[in-house]
Amino acid sequence: MKTEIIKKTIKVDGVPIKINAELREDYEYKKMRIFLFPQNETIIENLGKRFARPQNTWKKIGKSVLKEFGYSEDTKVSFSQQAGCKCGCSPGLIVNSIQYKTIYVDYTI
């Protein structure tokens, strides 16, 4: 399994965001998935916020991360509450134009 890792600070709307992103070849999902994990969030906070994630901010972070991995910044990214599973516990982004890859992003604003 091929893996690439990027650790750096990116800017989204002028706000610095520290990312630790891992791009993996992944045959679980045909369309690319991007899963974002806010750092320093407790398990209780994560459970409480699962259905109230900042979709627009996540899309901007996702596009910036795609750019860091060499993909076009114009790549269409859509938020899905059910990106990881059908129950809705794993929200994330779906990239229709890229196949068999997953990006996991730990981020701190």
Q: Specify the pTM.
A: 0.92
Partnered with residue 4 across adjacent β-strands are 23
Is 42 contained in some domain? yes
Domain housing 21: 16-50
The answer to whether the beta carbons of residues 15 and 85 sit under 8 Å apart is no
Is 84 contained in some domain? no
Is 97 contained in some domain? no
Is 40 contained in some domain? yes
What pLDDT was estimated at residue 9? 97
Is 103 contained in some domain? no
What pLDDT was estimated at residue 1? 66
With 0-12 CB in 10 A as exposed, 13-18 as middle and 19+ as buried, what is 59? Answer: middle
pLDDT < 50 regions, the chain: none
